[in-house]
Copies of this chain bind each other. A is one copy, B any other.
Amino acid sequence: MESVINTAHEIHFGELAKAALQQYLNQNQYSKIFLLVDENTNKHCLGPFSKIYTDQTERPIVIKTGEINKTISTCVDVWDALSNLGGDRKSILLNLGGGVVTDLGGFVASTFKRGIDFINVPTTLLAMVDASVGGKTGVDLGVLKNQVGVINQPKMVLIFPEFLETLEERQLKSGYAEMLKHGLIADKHYWNKLVQLNESDYKSHIQESILIKNGVVEQDPTEQGVRKKLNFGHTLGHAIESYFLEHPDKKTLLHGEAIAIGMILEGYLSHQLTGMSRIELEEIKKVFLNNYDKVSFTQEDINIIIDLLKHDKKNSHGNINFVLLEEIGSAITDVKVPFNLFKEAFAYYIE
C-alpha cells in the first residue's frame, strides 16, 4: 500500500513500514530507542521489531492494558522508567499498542525533558484509523476523558495490517465505528461502501479512512474549525463511555461501541435541528444496531450522563456545541442543542 506523507509526519504500511523505520532510525542518531507496550502488545506484537533491536534499544517499558490505566499515574511510571533507563533529549519513544498506548505514550514523549521524538505503531483497527493521525495526545483525569494532553505530531506512523489478525471481533468493530464516522461526516460514497463490508475487508479500507482524517486535520491541526467535524458522535459518546467506565456494574463499552450510540443520538439531533432526513436517520440507526448490541439505559443513567456533558472539553462558555449532519456525508460544527432534546434522543435510541 502506498505511504501517506503529510506535512507533519509520514504514514507507512506493511513491509514498506519496516524499511521506512529502519531507514529513519539509521538516519537519525538517537541516543536510545525506547519501546512502550502494554501487556498484550508485549506478548503479541513485538515480531516486526525484532530487527530494529540495536545497542541503543532498551527492553520494552510495559504498562497495564486498558483505558482505566490511561492516567497521570501511569505517565509517572513511564517518565520514571525513561529517566531511570538513562533517557535523554535525543532519545526516541516507539508507542506500540492501541489508543491508550499511543495517546499516553505521545503525551509522555511530548513532555519528557520538554519533549522527545516519538513514533506511533497502532495495533488495533481503532488506533490505525483514528489515533494514528492528528497528533492528539493525552490521558484521562478521573472519569473525564483526555482532560490532560497536548497536540503534537509523531515523527512517523507505521501500520502493520497483520496485527488485525489477532484482534477479537469486538475490537475490530470498535475501529469500524470510526471508519463509518469518516463516511458520515465527509463521504457518502465511502459510507455506502463500508456498510456492505465483512470484517475481513476492513483492513483494505484503512488507508481511505486515514486519508479522510488526514485531509481534515491538515486544514485545521489545532481544532479551531473544520477539525471539529471529527467529533461527530463523540460529545454524547464520550459522556456515555466515561459513565460506563466509572460504573463497574455496567458492561464495559469499547470506544467504538460508545460512539456508535453517540452517532445514533447525534443523528437524531441532526434530524431535529440540521435537516437530515428521517430516512437517513433510520439508515444510520439500522447500520449501527446491526453491528453493535443495543445497550440498556435507565432514566437515572441518562440523567447522570447529561450532567457529565457539561464537563466535556468541547464546551465553551457553558454552551454545549455539537457537530451534526445535514445529510450523510456532510457535517456542520458548533450547533447549540437545547437540553430537552437529549432525553428525546435517548428515547429514540431505546425505542
Contact = CB atoms under 8 A, between A and B. Distances in A.
Interface in A43-99: 72, 75-76, 79-80, 83, 86, 88-90
A314 B314 CA distance: 37
Interface string A302-322: 000000001101111110000
A108 to B, nearest CB: 9
A147 interface: yes
Nearest to A71: B76
Contacts of A219: none
B138 A88 contact: no
Contacts of A174: none
Interface stretch (A110-118, A122-130, A235-243, A333-341): A110-118
Interface stretch (A5-13, A148-156, A158-166, A284-292): A148-156
Interface residues of A, number: 39
Contacts of A75: 72
A149 to B, nearest CB: 5
Contacts of A115: 150-151
A36 to B, nearest CB: 16
Interface in A318-350: 318
Contact of A148 (B31, B79, B314): B79
Contacts of A147: 79, 83, 112-113
B31 A83 contact: no
A316 B89 contact: yes
A314 B88 CA distance: 8
A144 interface: yes
Nearest to A114: B149
Given A80-B141, A141-B79, A144-B83, A114 B150 contact: yes
Interface of A: 29, 31, 72, 75-76, 79-80, 83, 86, 88-90, 107, 110-115, 136-138, 141-142, 144, 146-151, 310-311, 313-318
20 contacts: A31-B317, A31-B318, A72-B72, A72-B76, A79-B147, A79-B148, A83-B144, A83-B147, A88-B317, A89-B313, A89-B314, A90-B317, A111-B138, A111-B148, A111-B150, A112-B148, A113-B147, A113-B148, A114-B137, A115-B150
